[in-house]
Amino acid sequence: MSRRSLLITGGAGFIGSHVVRLFVNKYPDYTIVNLDKLTYAGNLENLKDVDSKPNYHFEKGDILDVEFLASVFKKYSIDGVIHLAAESHVDRSLHNPAEFATTNIIGTLHLLNVAQTIWNNDFQGKLFYHISTDEVYGSAENGSFFTEETHIDPMSPYSASKAGSDHFVKAFGNSYKLPVRISRCSNNYGPYHFPEKLIPLMINNIINNKPLPVYGKGENIRDWLFVVDHARAIDEIFHKGKDGEVYNIGGNNEWKNIDLVKFLCYLMDKKLGREEGTSANLITYVKDRPGHDLRYAIDASKLIAETGWRPSVTFEEGLEKTVDWYLANRQWLNNVTSGEYMKYYTGMYQNR
Ligand code: NAD
Ligand code: DAU
C-alpha cells in the first residue's frame, strides 16, 4: 500500500471524527492530519480513542486562514484532502447566512487555492475530495430520487452555501485540472452527533424528560444513513472513485419525521425501562422551520455500481447502536450541552 499524507478538515466534528477514526485505524502507513477550528461543533473528545496513534496529527486552525493552510500543506507534504469543515446546521444558517457563506464558500475556495498553489500543477497522485450534501438538490418530488444529474436547486442559506462550494470545486477541476471529487450524502445519524440535530436532540430530551419539538406537522421526510457507513463510502470514493465525478451516498431509508420520533420514543422507553408511551407523551408540535424542504431521497446506484459499497447496518440496528451509545456516554452529552468542553479548549489553545 502506498504511503499518503492526508489532510482531513473538520475532523473533530460529527462525520469528520468517524472519517478520521476509520482512516487512522485502517491505514497505519498514512499520515492523517486533522485540521479543525474547534467551533461549537468540533470536539476532540470525539477522537480520544485514536489521538495517541502515531499516524494521527491535529492542527487547530481556520480554513479561512490561507497562511496557516499553506504551512500545514508544507509541514506534512499533503497529497490528498478530504474536506468536511463547514457550518452544517440549517437552523443556524437561517440566523446567520453570512457566516455560512464565508466558511462554506470562501473557506473551500481558500483550500482549493492553497492545494493548487502548493501542488504547483504537479497533480500526479493528488486529490481534492469535497464532502457535500444532498440538500444542494433542494426538495425531491414524491416518487423521484436525486441522481448525480439532478439540477442543483438549494433552498436554505446552508444548502446555498454548500452548492456554492460545490461549484467552486467543479470550477477548479475544469479550469486548472485539479483532480477533484465530490460526494453528496443524505442525513447521517450515530455516535458523536451534536444534540442540536433531530436524532440526538430527541434522545437527549427523552433522557431528560423534556418536550420533543417536532417542526410543523412532522410530515417532512429524510433519508437516514448510519454515519459509519458514510465514512466507509468516503473511503471507497477516495480510493476507487474517478476524478471529476460526483457520487451520491444514501441508504434508501426514508422516514417521516414524526414516524421516526415515535419509533425513537418506543426504543428509548424500552431501554430506559419506562412504560411504553411515556416518551411519546413528550412530543410537542412547534412552529415549522421557514422554507423547510419536504423530502430528501438519494439514488446511490452509481456509488454501488462503481465501488460495491453497501450500508453495513439496517436502520433499526444503527438506531439501536446510536441509542445505546448515547445512554452509555451521558458524560459526553452533558459536556457538549453544558459547554464544558469549550472552556477546556479556551485553556488548551490560548494562542490560536
Ligand atoms: P459538524 O458541524 O458536526 O462538524 C463541522 C466541523 O467543521 C467541526 O468540527 C467544526 O469545528 C469544523 N469547522 C467549522 N468551521 C471551520 C473552519 N472555518 N475552519 C476549520 N474547521 C471548521 O458537521 P457534520 O455534520 O460532521 O458535517 C460534516 C460535513 O459533511 C459538512 O461539510 C456537511 O455539510 C456534510 N454533510 C453532513 C451531513 C449530516 O447529516 N450531518 C450529511 C451530508 C453532508
Ligand atoms: O440531508 C443532509 C443534511 O442533513 C446535512 O447536509 C446537514 O448538515 C444536516 O444537518 C441535516 O440537515 P437537516 O436539516 O435535514 O437535519 P436536522 O437534524 O436539523 O433536521 C432533520 C429533520 O427534522 C428536518 O426535517 C427538521 C426536523 N426537526 C429538526 C429539529 C432539530 C424537527 O422537527 N425538530 C427539531 O428539533
| 96-147 per-position pLDDT tens digit | 999 999 999 999 999 999 999 999 989 999 999 999 999 999 999 989 999 9
- Ligand 2 pocket list (CB less than 6 A): 88-90, 133-135, 186-187, 197-198, 201, 213-215, 220, 222, 257, 289, 296
Instruction: Answer yes or no: pTM beyond 0.85.
Output: yes
State the distance from the centre of ligand 2 to the C-alpha of 67, rounded, in angstroms. Answer: 34
C-alpha cell at 261: 420520533
- Answer whether 190 contacts ligand 1 (Cβ < 6 A): no
Atom of ligand 1 nearest to the CA of 197: 41
Q: Report the candidate in 138, 308, 331 with the shortest Cα–Cα distance to residue 237.
A: 308
Atom of ligand 2 nearest to the CA of 198: 18
Domain boundaries, the chain: 5-189+225-249
Atom of ligand 1 nearest to the CA of 158: 34
State the distance from the centre of ligand 1 to the C-alpha of 274, rounded, in angstroms. Answer: 35
Q: Look at phi and psi of residue 336 and say left if phi exceeds 0, alpha if psi is from -120 to 50, else beta.
A: alpha
Q: Is 135 a catalytic residue?
A: yes
CATH of the domain spanning 5-189+225-249: 3.40.50.720
Please calculate the CA angle 23-319-232 and round it to the nearest 5 degrees: 20
Which residues share a beta bridge with 127?
A: 80
Q: Could you tell me whether strands 254-256 and 221-226 are parallel, antiparallel, or unpaired per DSSP bridges?
A: antiparallel
Q: What is the mean pLDDT of each run of 10 residues along the chain (352 residues)?
A: 89 98 98 97 97 98 98 98 98 96 98 97 96 98 95 98 98 98 98 96 96 97 98 98 98 97 98 97 97 97 98 97 98 87 60 43
pLDDT of residue 352: 42
- Answer whether 133 contacts ligand 1 (Cβ < 6 A): yes
Q: Is 134 a catalytic residue?
A: yes
pLDDT of residue 351: 44
Of the residues 59, 62, 87, 135, only one is catalytic, namely 135
State the distance from the centre of ligand 2 to the C-alpha of 261, rounded, in angstroms. Answer: 12
Burial classification of residue 319, based on how many CB atoms lie within 10 Å of its CB (0-12 exposed, 13-18 middle, 19 or more buried): buried
- Answer whether 187 contacts ligand 1 (Cβ < 6 A): yes
pLDDT of residue 342: 65
- Count Cβ atoms below 10 Å from residue 190 Cβ, excluding itself: 25
Report CA torsion sign: 32, 38, 40, 45.
positive
Of the residues 158, 192, 247, 341, only one is catalytic, namely 158
pLDDT digits (tens, 9 = 90+) for 166-176: 999 999 999 99
pLDDT of residue 171: 98
Atom of ligand 1 nearest to the CA of 85: 7
* In the chain, alpha helices (H): 14-26, 66-76, 90-95, 97-100, 107-119, 157-176, 198-207, 227-240, 257-272, 301-307, 315-328, 330-338, 340-348
pLDDT of residue 187: 98
Q: Are 6 and 82 in contact (CB under 8 A)?
A: yes
Q: Is 141 a catalytic residue?
A: no
